[in-house]
Chains A and B, each alone.
Chain A
């Protein structure tokens, strides 16, 4: 509990059609990976969407795809995670105020607040229920999920819409490139690990999940638990944390059939994943996903989409394989993501029994 009953994902891959699962892989040579956006008029009234920022449109569309996929009209809560919020709108305002504070158009300001996506979804659905937004780097999406798990435990909700969404702009990419977080030049996304250079390939995405207390005939998987850890003092043993996390969920290492890692081609921090998985999960099949969607604060939305589909379809797209091992059963997937070896996040996903 809870069950993942619907998924809506807009990403740099062709993920909008919920009946397909990574059947055709998009290969790019790019500064950063941009989402393949759907035709919005299927999801948003064109008169309204003309005034909306790209991030808001992606958020509303992916939320609606998720709800339709789950057959849910009105969620009991809407929770969004976003690391950077409306980058594009924020940049518009900063551009205008840097010219002697002559900033006259209110629309970018209205759309720039971090909670805009969650609240625009509420307005579209006329949903008066619980509504919140988490804005903590690579914890944003996981903390939204944790909030949802607690609301369900407390019997406050039956169906909850939880999403992770972030956008990238060329300006923002240029700025953050200067601190070495991103690859300095365009790269091939599928070969991003081969460059052996510091920095990740940036990306973006909007992933919404309809979580339900009850499973349906179409449920993808069960989200067992999430955990985030801020190890700024570098005093914690991550394997110990994982061990306790598994124990709390009545599992141990041999129960993990597939490990999905946040490997992103950054030679500085990828060894954190390799060391953990080699020491702690030897012989366990490993997958990665950031060559498909790029790195962004809520990229684990893509990972959860992949885990849910892998468990439902009992198939594992070869493009995601990180080592040569194949899962021998399709029961439990552990997703591990970290930022600069400080912010660690775990998600545990189980097949529907």
Chain B
């Protein structure tokens, strides 16, 4: 059984890049992916900004070699693209060589097609194209990825709102540690949907000017879309095959805020517990965390609760932190994996990416996020937070090897 779990491959597609290299370029250039709606179809176009992946669904189909296919959701296409990149980055060519699993995460699954189905179906029960509804459930995109990559040993999907893909990283790590699998592709995918956009809009937590996390005048989040996957491998494989290690999954924690379905507790209980558990598992002292990639959605409630929890854990020594959601938007089920990839890019490139759009510190907090890119900085341990509706809070520690 493997006591250690390593990351040997990464893949991402999000508003700031169609792959890892493009994403890194945008991060280094401090270039946000948030903007006016261009591809997505909604009455909110011109009013609410979004962080769209800059590829049409047809372009995505071309890229993954399924030109013209009608039965693939945008969620699945994003997932397949990022998962393929991750496998390639890990140098995996023979999937059957080791016991391989896929643990994916999503919050709305194939909703990008099923919401089209319903409009017609509600006119008449005989109406609506079946191809738009049969991919509705959360497992669909996961199974499409698995089929595409020939992964059969273990396949599952997790949905814990905005913390989904950190829980995928945790579960995948446990599958390796318990000896059930040798390697696992973990991550998440979510496409933009009118369902989520309108849902968040009724809660009045979407910032019309684009999110500015941890700012005194923050006015909500900005939705994004994307997918990210990490290849996790056991230490046995990594040593035997002398694989290049991108990072180690040193610790993780999952806790529930148990306060309110959509609001975080004022003292940040869930966030505090998730971070504390991750630290405990890693064996690190709080002072050994070099940077925190915060959840930092930009909502009044999340940032305050998360900030208080960080001050409770780190006291006067809160490490440099930033939310990268002003780059990528909030990619929901993919967010934890997108930010794990960004954290790995930070470690490997010795750089802390800034918290864009920040100007005024929050009056309730003593801390404020990193405003400008910090280069040439040794980052040994990064804590990445993902907190969700329902108080589902999870944190993961990614370490340099």
Shortest Cβ distance from residue B285 to the other chain A in the assembled complex, whole angstroms: 21
- What is the chain A residue whose CB lies nearest that of B140? A137
Report A100-137 CB contacts with B as 1/0, cut-off 8 Å.
11011110011111111011101101111111111111
User: Is the beta-carbon distance between A154 and B255 smaller than 8 angstroms?
Assistant: no
**Of A85, A105, A125, A232, the contact of B258 (CB 8 Å cutoff):** A125
Q: Is residue A94 contacting chain B, with contact meaning CB distance below 8 A?
A: yes
A106 to B200, CA, bound (A): 8
| Residues in chain A near residue B155, CB distance under 8 A | 136, 139, 228, 230
Q: Is residue A26 contacting chain B, with contact meaning CB distance below 8 A?
A: no
Report B141-152 CB contacts with A as 1/0, cut-off 8 Å.
011001100111
**Residues in B105-154 with C-beta less than 8 Å from chain A:** 106-107, 109, 114-115, 117-119, 121-122, 125, 128, 130, 133-134, 137-139, 142-143, 146-147, 150-154
A228 and B154 contact, Cβ closer than 8 Å, known pairs A114-B107, A135-B159: yes
| Residues in chain A near residue B115, CB distance under 8 A | 94, 97-98
- What is the chain A residue whose CB lies nearest that of B254? A130
User: Is the beta-carbon distance between A97 and B194 smaller than 8 angstroms?
Assistant: yes
User: Is the beta-carbon distance between B119 and A98 smaller than 8 angstroms?
Assistant: yes
**Of B160, B203, B255, the contact of A115 (CB 8 Å cutoff):** B160
User: Is the beta-carbon distance between B202 and A103 smaller than 8 angstroms?
Assistant: yes
A131 to B391, CA, bound (A): 9
Shortest Cβ distance from residue A292 to the other chain B in the assembled complex, whole angstroms: 24
A228 and B156 contact, Cβ closer than 8 Å, known pairs A106-B203, A122-B258, A131-B256: yes
Q: Which of B118, B134, B262, B389 has the most CB of A within 10 A?
A: B118
A123 and B259 contact, Cβ closer than 8 Å, known pairs A131-B392, A154-B177, A179-B134: yes
| Residues in chain A near residue B302, CB distance under 8 A | none
User: Is the beta-carbon distance between A113 and B175 smaller than 8 angstroms?
Assistant: no
| Residues in chain A near residue B154, CB distance under 8 A | 228-230
Q: Is residue B77 contacting chain A, with contact meaning CB distance below 8 A?
A: no
Known: A94-B195, A125-B258, A135-B158. 7 other contacts (CB 8 A): A98-B115, A98-B122, A115-B160, A128-B270, A132-B171, A134-B157, A150-B178
* A interface, CB within 8 angstroms of B: 78, 83-85, 90-91, 93-98, 100-101, 103-106, 109-116, 118-120, 122-123, 125-137, 139, 143, 147, 150-151, 153-154, 171, 174-175, 178-179, 228-233, 235-236
* B interface, CB within 8 angstroms of A: 42-44, 106-107, 109, 114-115, 117-119, 121-122, 125, 128, 130, 133-134, 137-139, 142-143, 146-147, 150-161, 167, 171, 174-175, 177-178, 180, 194-195, 198-203, 254-262, 269-270, 273, 388-392
